[in-house]
Structures are given as structure tokens and as C-alpha cells.
Amino acid sequence: MDDETMAEFLADLASPAPAPGGGAAAALQAALGAALVSMVCNLTIGKPRYAEHEATMLSALIEADKARAEALALANADARAFAAVSDAYKLPKGTEDERAERSRAIQAALGTAAEVPLHTAAVAAAVVGLCAAIVDGANVNVLSDVGVAAASARAALDSAAINVRVNTAAMTDAGARERAAAALAEHLASVATADGIVRAVGERIGS
């Protein structure tokens, strides 16, 4: 994916190959949100009118740049994790020992595959937090971009939640399943915050 143009990546996503798929798309939704937060910070920093928000914007810019890099890495990691699950399901299951080994390999791969969208959800929640931190002090000319960033991060949260559940549904370790569900629920608290930002931006633009 690193060398592909945008159109090539989208064609890959659309192709009959199951990866890249929804996991990579979720990570890219988070990356789009992070990139827009960076843009808003970049267009607010150094403007005398927004001087009182300078420290907030400088700090948010660093965090947003980091979130974008993490999200891009997660888009790649997801395809690798998916391949590992597929490979595990293809292991031989002729003997008792093979079946036990295959089952162990599947469970390990599912654990890793669930961690990627959990991490995506964490990054998306962080992006929502950055949107909340900058929305009041953002350059009004790019206020709409804060709203789009929040909408994108919200989609990443919804998408990551679906992808976590797909992987945990087949997990046999109830404890691991519950830990993943608890971590996910914590990140999903940001959905309401994201919706509030989208609404607030819409109202300020209309007024």
C-alpha cells in the first residue's frame, strides 16, 4: 500500500482480494481525521487573532501528526493480521495434534487481528479528543474542517468496533473477549463527543 496511488489503493480495496478490507478503511478514516486536525492547527498557529490558543494548537499539531502516522501503520498492519488469520485456518487438521495446533494458531492470530482495530479505535478516540481541544480556538476559516475531522474519526470508531467484534466473536477465551470488549467500550465513549462536535460546527457555520 505504501507505493500505491490513492486510485490504486481504492482499486485494491474494491478487488476480490479480502485484504485490504474494512480494517484498512477504518484506519484510513482515522488518518483522514488526524490529517485535517493538523491542517487546522497549521492554519491557526502564528495568526495574531488566535494567539491565545497558540499553545493548544502547537500541542494538538504534534499529537495529530503522530496519530496520522499511527493510523497509516495500522492500515498496513491490518492486512498482515488478516493474512495471519487466513493462514492459520488453512493449517492441516488431519490428526488430533494438528487440530490442537491449528486451533492454537487460529486463536493467537485472532487475538492479534482484534488488537489492530482496538488500536485504531484508540487512535480515532484520540483524534476526537484533539477535535474537542481545538474546536473553540480554531481559525474560523477552517472550522468546517474540524467538523469533517470529527465525522471521519467517528466513522473510524464505528468501523473499528465492527472489526473488533468480528475477531472476538470467534475467540474461545472468554476473558480475552471481555477485556477486548471493555477496552472497545472505553474508546466508543468518544462517539457521542464526535457527534457533538459535528453538530456544534454545523450550528456555528449556519449562524
One of 132, 134, 151, 180 touching its own copies (CB under 8 A): 151
Q: Which amino acid is at 107?
A: Q
CA–CA dist 128, 90 (Å, integer): 39
Question: Is residue 166 a contact residue for its own copies (CB under 8 A)?
Answer: yes
Running DSSP on this structure, what letter comes out for residue 140?
G
Extract the C-alpha cell encoding 30.
482515522
Question: Is residue 111 a contact residue for its own copies (CB under 8 A)?
Answer: no
Q: Which residue in the block uniquely carries the three cell numbers 491565545? A: 52
CA–CA dist 202, 135 (Å, integer): 12
Q: Which is nearer to its own copies, 116 or 161 (CB)?
A: 161
Query: Scanning residues 71 to 100, which ones bind its own copies (CB under 8 A)?
Result: 72, 75
Query: Scanning residues 22 to 61, which ones bind its own copies (CB under 8 A)?
Result: 22, 25-26, 28-29, 31-32, 34-36, 38-39, 42-43
**Shortest separation between residue 147's beta carbon and its own copies, angstroms:** 4
Residues 45 and 57 sit within 8 Å (Cβ to Cβ): yes
CA–CA dist 151, 7 (Å, integer): 22
Question: Is residue 182 a contact residue for its own copies (CB under 8 A)?
Answer: no
CA–CA dist 148, 186 (Å, integer): 23
Extract the C-alpha cell encoding 145.
474542517
**Shortest separation between residue 52's beta carbon and its own copies, angstroms:** 20
**CA torsion sign, 131 to 135 to 136 to 142?**
positive
One of 66, 102, 165, 179 touching its own copies (CB under 8 A): 165
Name the site residues for its own copies (rule: CB under 8 A): 1-7, 9-11, 13-16, 18, 21-22, 25-26, 28-29, 31-32, 34-36, 38-39, 42-43, 64-65, 68, 72, 75, 141-142, 144-145, 147-149, 151-152, 154-155, 158-159, 161-163, 165-166, 169, 198, 201-202, 205-206
